[in-house]
């Protein structure tokens, strides 16, 4: 997670970025940690299964977060264009 700072204050974590929003990957990583916890006392086999499951959830989240980002960009481009801001709508990338 380049250009991302994490401060661990016990049970509180603060995530920041500089001059950008969070990527789908960064959001998915934070979310998946809320869904799957792997105990230090888990057997190696169970821990491995949990890591594989966690990765599948992360990849699924990334896919749908990217779709949501693209959908939002399309909506913004359409709203700008319908209000006569065709030049601005072209600045909103894919």
Pair 3, 18: CB distance under 8 Å = yes
- pLDDT tens, position by position, 5-62: 777 666 677 889 999 999 999 999 999 988 898 999 999 999 999 999 999 999 999 9
Confidence (pTM): 0.75
CB neighbour list of residue 3: distance below 8 Å, 6 or more residues apart: 17, 18, 20
């Amino acid at each position: 997670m380049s250009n991302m700072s994490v401060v661990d204050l016990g049970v509180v974590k603060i995530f920041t970025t500089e001059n950008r929003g969070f990527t789908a990957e960064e959001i998915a990583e934070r979310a998946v940690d809320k869904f799957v916890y792997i105990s230090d006392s888990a057997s190696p086999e169970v821990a491995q299964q949990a890591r594989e499951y966690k990765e599948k959830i992360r990849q699924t989240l990334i896919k749908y977060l990217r779709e949501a980002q693209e959908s939002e960009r399309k909506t913004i481009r359409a709203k700008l264009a319908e209000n006569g801001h065709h030049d601005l709508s072209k600045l909103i990338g894919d």
